[in-house]
Structure 1
Amino acid sequence: MHRRFVSPRAYVQGGGALDDAGAEFDRLDAERAYVLGGDTALATAGDAVSAGLADAGIEVAHTAAGVDRCTDPALDDHVDTAAAAGADLVVGVGGGVAMDVATAVADRVDAALAVVPTIASTDAPTSTVAVVYDDAGNFREVRHRDRNPELVLVDTAVVAGAPARFLAYGMGDAVATRFEAEAVAATGGRTDADGASSFAARALAEEAYRRVREHGTGALAAVRRDAATPAVERVVEANTLLSGLGFESGGTAGAHAVQIGLTNAGVREPHGLLVGFGTVAELVVRDADPDTVSEVLDLLFAIDLDVTLAELGVGEDDLAAVGEVACEHGMELEPVDATPGRVADAVRTADELVRERRSN
């Protein structure tokens, strides 16, 4: 298996980037766009996206608002509408769900894909990945578009105006990327890029982690006042670009495995919050150096991502199933014999570590 690194055709980030959207959309050589997103996202950025498409001479063939689920029935509806509209470009506006839906729809109708994140809560925008759930909200599977987005357009003024918790959730995802890339490199596992882990992806994952450590608290302070500072620029890029490239071509492992296990135990809290907790559990599974575990705990507390199982609504009776599911969805890529029982014990221990840190 060869190393394989993939990336979007173009990644554009900066304050006021949506003001220049027309020039970026013009590079896509499209004629008819299917625009989709959540209600808040479209209310925030929809007019700027439509204006940019008009400047590029691209007709908005249909706009789908209220996107809040990435399930097979929802995807089928979007695909039917996009195909009937003759769309050759899908534009996803919003957060992780909108990105997943846009990626899956663009793949099925064979259209170009532009993603316009309005929050930096996930590292999905740059990837081929669409995470699909069942109607009950349980994880079902990961699907892949045949190529990365043609355009990722991030206006940091828009991101800075969103609630600070979304930036923190993205940092939870970015923190995990470093340790998961280490695990996949050590085990020689296959990444979401359909190859072996690349050296470049590991370096990007490490840089994402470093930026969150050094600039995360400053970035959160800024966005709490709707400010877009250099720290915000660094962290938004870490959450979106560095972590996105790092996870796809570097691999995911234990942290996301725990997140999937918790999701299938009925937890509906944000992805990045669960992945942050999952990182602590992953390190315990791996028997990582205590200083590393302590450093990650310090960081999660600093960016307000500390959480306990009780707060997630997870009881002792749920942990065996969490361990079983985790071992079916990535924990096998850890460089240890990660049995369901070992994972369940690690989740218990991660919970206790958070509790003890709070009591000190």
Structure 2
Amino acid sequence: MRKAFISPSKYVQGEDELLNLGYFVNLFGKTALLIAHSDDVSRVKDKLDSTKRKFGIEFVESGFRGECSRQEVARLKELAKDKSCACTIGLGGGKAIDTAKCVAEGEALIIVPTIAATDAPTSHSAVLYTEDGAFDDYAYFKQSPSVVLIDTSVIANAPVRFLVSGMGDALSTYFEARATSNSYSNVNAGLPCGYREGVCGEAKGTNTALALAALCYQTLMKDGLKAKISCENKCVTQALENIVEANILLSGLGFESGGLGGAHAIHDGLTILEGTHKYYHGEKVAFGTLAQLVLENAPMSEINEVLNFCLEVGLPVCLSDIGVDRLSQEDLMAVAAKACIPEESIHAMPFPITVESVAAAIKTADTIGSNHKKNRGV
């Protein structure tokens, strides 16, 4: 059996770590292309200026236009070439990070998240969009970022909702990896590089990835609420450090090398409902996790543990929590059908999948979550 595991070459996390960014730039040269939204640059400008002086490096500002499109990637590649940039830095949220991945193509790449809202920073994949923001394609590169650098003091000063959304994304990691392991399905770590053309890498997940996914879940249960309170107070505690690691590193390694399952596919189905569009990825994945647990007939004790955690930190537990107050049978079946298209990760579940069974799981999860809220007086 062929197995695969992929990870960044170096992961560094701590307070004020942005002050050391210049050290990592110097591993490649003196000039780095900085791909970041102007607002994110403004948030950390003092630290960027300090690390430039300390390590004698230069940042080439990219004027990032905010969309990870083929046109923007081509423009930035040309800029990096013209300015003889030795490496690429993706600083900020998902779009800047994915654009940096596409520009670097797996070479000399430093990722600096300013929020802990998803597990994308460690991965070797990116999502491409059109210029007007519609989905275009997935891209996979030969290796993960060279360096992932996390400044937890920056994370602590970001809006709390980002951290909580990241916990929602991380919440699915163990359950999806468990399902993928039980079904012996392929994982993203085996995918070839380049823009995807329907070719899937034939590689299964490792025991290491499953263990990391389990640790991710354990960390959320132990430190999630304390980390949220720390972020509300804009301070760094050990609990916050642990949750940042869970949201970004443990979940990132867990999803890519452990596999995705029903939760993310149900998330993708839910995106066809207009009411969900103002909610973050991790918020919708949290409900998708509950629906996956119903789909696989998980023990009620496990479902209740997830429900209690979600309510504790402020994650959705029912459809109304993600902007869907009414769902017709027609819309429900459309969501389920979208979640079940052939290329979706729901087919990694260790049993046959039908549109009807997924629709039933979504409807049942919604009722269980709504009732749990009422019983808890929420």
Shared fold (TM-score, shorter chain, > 0.5): yes
Contact 1:79 1:105 in 2 (8 A): yes
After TM superposition, give the deviation of residue 176 of structure 1 in Å. 0.5
Alpha-carbon contact 2:117-2:165 (below 8 Å) kept: yes
Contact 2:286 2:317 in 1 (8 A): no
Q: Deviations for 1:142-170, whole angstroms, at most 9, x for unmatched residues? A: 32121110111101111111111111111
Query: Are 1:62 and 1:82, in contact at CA under 8 Å, matched by a contact in 2?
Result: no
The answer to whether the Cα contact below 8 Å between 1:25 and 1:53 also exists between their aligned partners in 2 is no
Return 47-56 or 313-322, whichever deviates more. Answer: 47-56
Unaligned runs of 5+ in 2: 191-202
Q: CA–CA distance in 1 between the matches of 2:230 and 2:353?
A: 40
How big is the alpha-carbon RMSD for the aligned residues of Structure 1 and Structure 2? 2.0
Matches within 5 A, 1:197-212: 197-212=205-220
Contact map agreement 1:45 1:93 (CA 8 A) in 2: no
Q: Provide Cα deviations, 1:115-155, integer angstroms capped at 9, x if missing partner.
A: 11111111111110112345665544432121110111101
CA contact (8 A) 2:316 2:322 kept: no
Which deviates more, 261-270 or 199-208? 261-270
Of residues 252-261 and 72-81 in structure 1, the stretch that sits farther from structure 2 once superposed is 72-81
Query: Which residue of structure 1 aligns with residue 338 of structure 2?
Result: 325
Greater CA drift, 15-24 or 120-129: 15-24
Question: Structure 2 vs 1, CA of residues 220 and 245 (structure 1 numbering), >3 Å: closer, same or farther?
Answer: same
> SS state of the match for residue 125, structure 1?
helix
SS at match of 2:264: helix
Question: Cα deviation per residue 1:166-202 (whole Å; 9 max; x = unaligned)?
Answer: 1111111111000010011111111110121011111
Q: CA deviation at 1:89?
A: 1.4
Alignment correspondent of 2:194: none
Instruction: Spell out the pairing of 1:50-65 with structure 2 (5 A cutoff).
Output: 51-53=50-52, 55-65=54-64
From 293, 298, 312, the equivalent of 1:288 is 298
Report SS of the residue matched to 1:93: strand
The equivalences for 1:188-337 within 5 A come to: 188-194=184-190, 195-266=203-274, 267-268=276-277, 269-314=279-324, 315-316=327-328, 317-328=330-341, 329-337=344-352
SS state at 2:245 partner? helix
Alpha-carbon displacement from aligned partner over 1:47-83 (angstroms, at most 9, x marks no partner): 423543554444323333452x334444344344434
The one of 102, 105, 110 aligned to 1:104? 102
Bigger mean CA offset, 33-42 vs 72-81: 72-81
3-state SS of paired residue (1:193)? helix
The corresponding residue for 2:147 is 151
Bigger shift: residues 81-90 or 285-294: 81-90
Q: Please say if 1:356 is aligned against 2:371.
A: yes
Q: Distance in 2 between matches of 1:97 and 1:237?
A: 20
Tell me how far apart the structure 2 counterparts of residues 308 and 124 of structure 1 sit (CA, whole Å): 25
Q: Please give the per-residue CA displacement for 1:212-240, whole angstroms capped at 9, x wherever unaligned.
A: 10100001111101010010111111111
Moved more, 189-198 or 14-23: 14-23
Q: CA deviation at 1:337?
A: 1.3
**Contact 1:181/1:251 (CA < 8 Å) preserved in 2?**
yes
Q: Which amino acid aligns with 1:33?
A: A
Contact 1:218-1:231 at 8 Å conserved across structures: yes
User: Using the alignment, how far apart are the partners of 2:122 and 2:112 within structure 1?
Assistant: 10
Query: 93, 96, 99: which one pairs with 1:95?
Result: 93
Q: Which moved more, 1:155-164 or 1:85-94?
A: 85-94
What is the TM-score of this pair, normalised by structure 2? 0.88
* Partner SS state of residue 353, structure 1: helix
Q: Percent of counterpart pairs with the same letter?
A: 37
40-49 or 179-188: bigger deviation:
40-49
Native 8 Å contact 1:124 1:240 kept in 2: yes
**Counterpart secondary structure, 1:92:** strand
Report the TM-score, using the length of structure 1 for normalisation. 0.92
Runs of 4+, deviation exceeding 6 Å: none
1:4 corresponds in structure 2 to: 4
Deviations 1:15-37 (A, max 9, x none): 1111222222222x234322112
Determine helix, strand or coil for the equivalent of 2:188: coil
Q: What is the aligned partner in structure 1 of residue 180 from structure 2?
A: 184
Q: Structure 1 residues 41-50 or 76-85, which shifts more?
A: 76-85
- Specify the alignment match of 2:353 in structure 1: 338
